[in-house]
Structure 1
């Protein structure tokens, strides 16, 4: 890309001949432009349980304040986020026996959305569950 090349030169003002030294530096210029879909994907990573903004920023080689700015833009509607409906919260009600089974494992989860009931086993992948919820919402 043309924006990735910097050219520096020093030229003497008197006389002809040797023009001096010219350095061509290639690579990032210190200021990167991120496509919106990439920003949105990085912001979505920060919404996962146990995610640290600092760790995610370090993994993607950006500063934590920059990632916080992208999160703020997403909250304000300035950064289009994919699958926003999957990020919405479901109303939760607890019924039946409370607490975890005695062996320390989590029990199954039952989601009710209108007249639809989804039984989720404890080992079900959370990412896949968000796709299932989005599909159910889209179909209803």
Structure 2
């Protein structure tokens, strides 16, 4: 991205007629405006395995705090995000009929990599996240 590089040139002279310092600035100056689809693409990159926010920010010439702000906006629904498998979301199917063998207190049933998980009402969401992550890890 050569257009993102700022160059500063100064000229000083003791010759007669010297009017003062001359600075030439090339490249973008001031605030840049990023289209929402570009912001969303950068945010999606940060969710991929083995990628850090700092690496993505450096690659695109954005500050890491700015990219963190866009991630927060995406989590809060303020930045429209395209559907992507990188987020690791699990599709949920709601059915009206009871599944044989289900206990009445089961509120959610997940099927991940061929394993059926019956999630009871009031189950700790953080623990469920660890279970799902462990299942995905073993399937890789």
TM-score, L = length of structure 2: 0.46
TM-score, L = length of structure 1: 0.46
